[in-house]
Amino acid sequence: MKKNLLVASANPGKVREIKAILNSPELTILSAKDAGIAINVAETGQTYEENAWLKAEAYQKASGMIVLADDSGLEVDALNGEPGIYSARYAALPNASDADRRHYLVEQLQGKPQPWPAHFHCTAVLAGPRGHLAVAEGRCDGIIIPEERGTGGFGYDPIFFIPQEAATMAELSEDRKNQISHRARALQALLPELQKLFQLD
């Protein structure tokens, strides 16, 4: 029997990362586009977990499949944890690009003493026809730098420097990012549940 897992996201970068991290030949990982689902879920939750469940439940209802959803964000110490759950919408302008959000973030840090410690957080959840199945969290620590470096990744990756790697998230190879990122750590924590659900080897 075909084992399908639907990712509750229209973000191709995120779906590509999840496929690479889970990397199971027994599991077919589908994007919203693959499944023919076009829904827009309002992220009205007050936490990453609430937002992840909102997405998981909506996609599960639309598809009838087991759904993996996540919500993630960047938390900067000098900004009291902002942008946090609003990371994807953090900008002074409507319809802002990732580059606009990075520029805006660095602007907010001007005048605050460096270094600017920060971490990426991810909460990943699984939902099925009978409701909530599992939840896991992951975190990756680093510092924000004022000049962008690297061309990989997406979002805030070019200004998120990881001292242990001597590189920004955007300078890491995809393989390395998919070992140490916040999303990788959350999904790795979910793997035992996925193995049980899908009877993976």
Query: 157 an active-site residue?
Result: no
- Stated as kind and residue range, the H or E segment containing 28 is strand 28-30
DSSP, res 52 = H
Instruction: Provide the 3-class DSSP secondary structure of residue 123.
Output: strand
150 closest CA partner among 131, 128, 172, 117: 172
Catalytic residue among 71, 100, 141, 157: 71
Tally Cβ neighbours within 10 Å of residue 164.
Answer: 8
Cα gap 150→142, rounded to integer Å: 15
Residues annotated as part of the active site: 71
